[in-house]
Chains A and B, each alone.
Chain A
Amino acid sequence: MTATWIPVILCAPGDEKSLAEIAPVASVVAVTDHDGHLVFRPTTATGIAASNDIPPASIYRDAVGFFAASPKAAVVYDKLSAFWLAQFGKAKPPAFSDLSKAPGGSALAAYAQICAGQFQSLHQRNSRLMRELGVVRAAHDDMQSSFARLEAFFYQNNRSERISSMTLPVHRKQRPVELRAGIELEQRLPLDSSGICDVAISVRSLPRSKVGVLRASLELKESGKTVAVWMIPAAKITLDWLRLSLDRALNADSQTPILRLNWDGDSPLLLNTSFFHPDPRFMPFPQSPLLALEIWKYVPGAQATMSPNGILPQGVGGPNTWNIGRSLLREAVAVSADKDNVLYSEPLTGLLVKPSSETMTVARLDRAAQTGVHHLYGGIKTEDVTGPVSEYAYGLCPSRLRPIIGQALPVFDKGMASEWYPLTPNEWSELHLILTEPLEEPHDLFLMTRLAKGETAEVPPECCFFRITARGGDAAAMLERTE
Chain B
Amino acid sequence: MTPPFSAPADDSRALAALDQAGTLATAHARSGLPRLAVVVPIFRHSTLLSEAIEAVLTQHADFAIRLILVNDGCPHRETDDVCLDYARGYADQVVYLRKPNGGLSDARNYGIRYVLDHEPSVEAVYLLDADNRLRPHAMARAMAVLDADPALGWVYPNIDMFGTRSAHDYGGPYSRLIHSAMNICEAGSLINRKLFEAGVMFDTAFKQGFEDWEFFLSAGQAGFRGENLEDFGFLYRKRPESMLADSEREGAGIRASMQLKHKAFLQPRSLVELEQTEAPRYAIFLVDRNEVVLTTDPRIANEVISLAEYEYRLWAAYANPSRYGVPPILLVTTSGALAQLADIGMQSWACWRLESLVEQSGIATLCFDSTEEDRMAVGFTSVHDGKHLTANALMIRPRLLREVLFDNNAVWINTLSSWTPAPECRTVTISMPARKIDPMRQIGCEATFDFLSLVNKLRSSIWRAGAMRNLEWRQGDIGQRAESHMILRNRLDGAPAYPRVADGRTHIGLTIPLVEFGGVEKVALNFARELKAAGYGVHLFILMAEEAAISDEWTEVLDSLNFMAGTGFGTWGGGNKNYYGTELPGWTENGNHSIALGLLYWLDTVIDFHGGAMVATMGKLKKLGLRTVSSLHLSDMSPMQRPVGNTYLTMAYEHAFDVFAPCSLQLADWLHGMGVPQEKIVPVVNAPSFPISAADLQRSLAGRADRDPTAPLRVMFLGRLDPQKGLESLSEVVERSAGMNIDWRIIGKSVIAEHGRPLSTAIKRVLEPVLSTPEELIEAYAWADVMLLLSSYEGLPLTILEAMRQGVVVIATDVGAVTEVLHDGENGVVLPLQKASDGCLAALRLLGRDRDLLRRLSEQAATDMQTCGWDHTIGDLVATLNRMATRDEK
Contact = CB atoms under 8 A, between A and B. Distances in A.
Interface string B76-111: 000011001001111111011111110000000000
Contact of A276 (B96, B98, B465): B465
Contacts of B230: 256
A3 to B, nearest CB: 4
Contacts of B465: 275-276
Contacts of B92: 2-3
Interface in A267-314: 268, 270, 273, 275-279, 282, 284-290
Given A57-B114, A60-B98, A277 B467 contact: yes
A224 B137 contact: yes
Given A57-B97, A224-B24, A190 B14 contact: no
Nearest to A177: B5
B6 A277 contact: no
Interface in B216-245: 230-233
B462 interface: yes
A231 to B, nearest CB: 18
Given A184-B17, A285-B6, A1 B90 contact: yes
A175 interface: yes
Contacts of A222: 135, 160, 231-233
Nearest to B136: A223
A183 B17 CA distance: 11
Nearest to B24: A224
Interface string B269-311: 0000000000000000000000000000000000000000000
Contact of B466 (A191, A224, A275, A287): A275
A277 B231 contact: no
Interface stretch (A31-39, A85-93, A423-431): A85-93
B13 A178 contact: no
Contacts of B81: 125
Contact of A286 (B8, B324, B473): B8
A46 to B, nearest CB: 27
Interface in A53-72: 55, 57, 60-62
Contacts of A442: none
A88 B463 CA distance: 61
Contacts of B462: 276
B315 interface: yes
A219 B288 CA distance: 49
B11 interface: yes
Interface residues of B, number: 61
A279 B99 contact: no
A178 B231 contact: no
A217 B739 CA distance: 115
Chain A facing B: main interface SS: loop
Contacts of A62: 88
B90 to A, nearest CB: 6
Nearest to B12: A286
Contacts of A125: 81
Contacts of A191: 471, 473
A192 interface: yes
Interface residues of A, number: 54
B312 interface: yes
Contacts of B87: 61
A177 B319 contact: no
Interface string A436-457: 0000000000000000000000
Contacts of B409: none
Contacts of A279: 316, 319-320, 323-324, 471-472
A129 to B, nearest CB: 10
Interface string A442-479: 00000000000000000000000000000000000000
Nearest to A262: B14
Interface string B616-630: 000000000000000
Given A88-B98, A183-B6, A279-B320, 7 more contacts: A61-B96, A184-B14, A222-B135, A256-B473, A268-B6, A278-B312, A279-B319
11 contacts: A57-B98, A57-B114, A90-B80, A176-B5, A183-B14, A223-B136, A270-B4, A279-B323, A279-B472, A288-B5, A289-B466
For the complex of A and B, list the 8 residue pairs with the smallest distance between their C-beta atoms, beginning with the closest. Answer: A89-B100, A277-B466, A190-B471, A288-B5, A278-B316, A89-B73, A178-B4, A192-B473
Interface of B: 2-8, 11, 13-14, 17, 20, 24, 73, 80-81, 84, 87-93, 95-101, 114, 118, 135-137, 160, 165, 167, 230-233, 312-313, 315-316, 319-320, 323-324, 462-463, 465-467, 469, 471-474
